[in-house]
Amino acid sequence: MRTPLSLVALSLLSACAQAPQTQWQAGNRYGAIGFASGVEASVLDGDLRQAELYTIRVAIMPSGTMPPHTHPDTRQMTVLEGEVWYGFGEAIDLATAPLYRAGDFFIVPGGQPHYARAGTEGVVYQESGMGPTATTPLE
């Protein structure tokens, strides 16, 4: 059975962890996302457990991968730095995943399985949505 994981809980597990500091990350506290090696997140605004708007910043290390997962809510995504292949489905398929670069904006519908793979320089992206939310890994 898949267990939803709150990003708040995940970020609190390693609150002392820090992603490499870039212009978009300076001053934000990052925590590891347990099911995704080399991926860290920081809740910038909002309470992910409440029915309110929230904003999360995610950093994926160079060539790192966020495995397939889902969220109950729709998320608005903006790539801040680097590039990322962001695809949909229960298995990673970079041949069909669009490549997004700094400045690109896209939508991830709620309940739809998706994954991400950072480019060789890594990626920082920001996502916003309406809580309450959770993350359910598919692996």
Q: What is the DSSP letter of 21?
A: P
Domain count, the chain: 1
pLDDT (0 to 100) of residue 24: 53
Q: Which range (29-38, 70-79, 84-93, 106-115) has the least confidence?
A: 29-38
pTM: 0.80
Asked if the model's pLDDT at residue 103 lies above 80, the reply is yes
Cβ count near 101 (within 10 Å) = 12
CATH number at residue 52: 2.60.120.10
1 within a domain of the structure (yes/no): no
Domain that holds residue 83: 7-137
Q: What mean pLDDT comes out for the span 111-121?
A: 97
Asked if the model's pLDDT at residue 15 lies above 80, the reply is no
Q: Do 127 and 58 contact (CB within 8 A), yes or no? A: yes
Q: What mean pLDDT comes out for the span 4-27?
A: 46
pLDDT (0 to 100) of residue 45: 92
